[in-house]
Structure 1
Amino acid sequence: MSFLTLTHLQKSFGPTKVVHDFNMAIEKGEFISFLGPSGCGKTTVLRMIAGFETPTGGSIVINGRDQTELKPNQRNIGMVFQAYALFPNMNVFDNVAFGLKIAGKPKAEIAARVQEMLKLIHLEHLADRYPYQMSGGQQQRVALARALAPKPQVLLLDEPLSALDAKIRVSLREEIRQIQQQLGITTVFVTHDQEEALSISDRIVVMNAGRADQIGTPFEIYNRPATRFVASFVGTLSLIDATVVNASESTVKLGEQVVSLKKPLPKGEGEKITVAMRPECGSLAEGARGDIAINGKVASSHFLGSVIRTKLDVGGPVLSFDMFNDPGRAPPAVGETVTLKVAADDLMVLAD
């Protein structure tokens, strides 16, 4: 039986429906990320789980108990916000202890639990500091410890890293994941950053206009996107127009080439479809494997250290592809005519 179940969840603000029939079953100890652009409904779903928003329809069940009508303080949920939300007049110790004090825990138990939490986030030496004396990353660690101190059954994180600089964001997301795995706590993480979601999640929910377009592992979401939106939102994508030659044989015409995509096609002979290519799928190397050879002129080439990111003008669409740096070979020059080899298996056929 799933630990956290969302069934036919809906939310409207006046005549505007922002969450449409959302369904998901989350296992105990699972790390789930809600990924999507601003306004897609991901934070609204999180706030309904927390009890800050009342669903227009549907139910929320945690560990077999219906939470839908319960107040936030009755749900035993830990919440970490984007803006830290620490009490400025309290030091680190008192901020972490706040929930325990509200629950009426004995002083000795509070002291022991706070020390345990501060050790977990490696800030036990800053127990006497106030929020204004700390960096953003340190404040967010304290907010995490405060959320975890009362031993919640579910941890919710609402874009907790978006206010931090890039380097701190990477290290803190790894720390959050490590702590989550160490404690085995069921966690829902909201983000608009695809790299964050791909790097730390057990499963990702890609949300679009109030609906879950796709739910799957990071590997599935990236390599087998279910819709055009998921494919374009997660990762870089090049779109190529093609014409179906024979649907039963999965053959299409790409430019002047007829190739088999070796996968079912959504349309019949003579109809237009869209195929897509990830940047890592193409290769300029001699002898590279590939059923498809695409000729074009280099529109741009950017040396990024380990990777060279190139755009290729093929007389219509501009294709993006990445190649690893080879010290013995110079990057392709702008204006140079090259042949990009692509394996048909690596091309995706996009649904609308």
Structure 2
Amino acid sequence: MSFLEISHLEKSFGPLRVVKDFNLSVEKGEFVSLLGPSGCGKTTVLRMVAGFETPDTGSIHIEGKDVVRLGPNARKIGMVFQAYALFPNLTVSQNVAFGLKVAGVGKAETADRVREMLSLIGLPDLGDRYPFQMSGGQQQRVALARALAVRPRVLLLDEPLSALDAKIRVSLRSQIREIQQRLGITTIFVTHDQEEALSMSDRIVVMNGGIAEQVGTPFDIYNKPTTKFVANFVGTLNTFSADVTDAAAGRVSVGGTPVQLPAAVEPAKGDRIGLAFRPEALHLGRAIGREVTLPAVIRAVNFHGSVIRIEVEAAGTNVALDTFNRADTPPPQVGDAAEVSFSARDVIVLEY
């Protein structure tokens, strides 16, 4: 059995089933993100692990022991909330020490632990400040230190970065990941931000409608989606419509251009399927190793600094591709005739 084992978890609120037969095994020290849109059940799963909600059915084992019937204070779990939840009338040090005081830890050990945690989060000299005297990023780090001070078995993070501006979010997510790896603490992170999940996680659980659509590494979730929802939800996706000419041989046609897929496809001859691509899989112009080339017209050029996102119309479809910015090569102009190329091995086949 894994360090944290969630089996057949279900939860309803009235007639609404929010979580449906949810299963997840998390190894000790692993960082797992629950990723999905609002209302998909990810926070409800987190709250059931924390003990703030009771599942209708299912079990939650931590180190082999079922904790479903235990209260939150008996599970030895640390939790960081989206809204920080710091006590405004307590100093930073007092906030970090709060859980230790509740647990009956002695004063000397508490003082040592508070110093250790403030050093860990990079705020060793701000213990006497109050929350209102700190930035949002600093407050969130204090909330993290408070959760870690009690040395929890599992750390739960409920969209802790969503209230911060973009630059602070990027910096803080790196710090959280570094601290998690340094302590080797088992962590579940809830987010609706794909970039956060992809950059921080050992594995990602993509949730939709209360179920786990796919569980995998960031590489597999992005490059090898197993459902249409995952393919469309994670990252930008381009889709061409293709006519199947020989299903068993994997031969299809995109706008009259033949494409040989690496494997057979399900539909019979004459049916249509969707061929999906990430923007980086498409290349502007012909390129070695990209055996399929389609005529195209430039429809939009969006400058993003080091990367230029170019939108083209090809095979009757508007698609996007990314190219690196080069100071010696100006981007194409809207309305220019062009070509786009891709390799059939980069295709994600979807039901049409």
Q: How does the TM-score come out when normalised to structure 2?
A: 0.98
In structure 2, the partner of 1:238 is 238
Distance 1:68 1:269 in 2: 52
Residue type of the partner of 1:269? Answer: K
Distance 1:68 1:53 in 2: 9
Verify: 1:3 aligned to 2:3, yes or no.
Answer: yes
In structure 2, the partner of 1:310 is 310
In structure 2, the partner of 1:276 is 276
| Residue correspondences, number | 352
In structure 1, the partner of 2:68 is 68
Q: How does the TM-score come out when normalised to structure 1?
A: 0.98
RMSD: 1.1
Residue type of the partner of 1:236? Answer: T
Q: Extract unaligned runs of 5+ from structure 1.
A: none
Indicate if the aligned counterparts of 2:157 and 2:188 stay in contact, CA closer than 8 A.
yes
Distance 1:289 1:151 in 2: 52
| Residues 24 and 351 of structure 1, relative CA distance in 2, 3 Å threshold | farther
1:259 Cα deviation after fit: 1.1
Indicate if the aligned counterparts of 2:286 and 2:339 stay in contact, CA closer than 8 A.
no
In structure 2, the partner of 1:179 is 179
In structure 1, the partner of 2:141 is 141
Distance 1:287 1:203 in 2: 33
Verify: 1:323 aligned to 2:344, yes or no.
Answer: no
Indicate if the aligned counterparts of 1:155 and 1:186 stay in contact, CA closer than 8 A.
yes
In structure 2, the partner of 1:112 is 112
1:151 Cα deviation after fit: 0.4
Q: Tell me the alpha carbon deviations over residues 10-46 of structure 1, each in whole angstroms, 9 at most, x when there is no partner.
A: 0111111011100111100000000011001100100
Identity %: 60
Bigger mean CA deviation after superposition, 308-317 or 21-30: 308-317
1:345 Cα deviation after fit: 0.7
| Residues 351 and 96 of structure 1, relative CA distance in 2, 3 Å threshold | farther
Bigger mean CA deviation after superposition, 289-298 or 7-16: 289-298
| Residues 68 and 105 of structure 1, relative CA distance in 2, 3 Å threshold | same
Indicate if the aligned counterparts of 1:80 and 1:143 stay in contact, CA closer than 8 A.
yes
Indicate if the aligned counterparts of 2:295 and 2:315 stay in contact, CA closer than 8 A.
no
Verify: 1:290 aligned to 2:290, yes or no.
Answer: yes
Indicate if the aligned counterparts of 1:226 and 1:351 stay in contact, CA closer than 8 A.
no
1:285 Cα deviation after fit: 4.3
Residue type of the partner of 1:55? Answer: P
In structure 2, the partner of 1:79 is 79
Q: Extract unaligned runs of 5+ from structure 2.
A: none
Indicate if the aligned counterparts of 1:266 and 1:351 stay in contact, CA closer than 8 A.
no
| Equivalent position SS for 1:6 | strand
Q: Tell me the alpha carbon deviations over residues 158-206 of structure 1, each in whole angstroms, 9 at most, x when there is no partner.
A: 0000000000000000000000000000000000000000001000000
Distance 2:306 2:92 in 1: 41
Residue type of the partner of 1:310? Answer: I
Bigger mean CA deviation after superposition, 257-266 or 340-349: 257-266
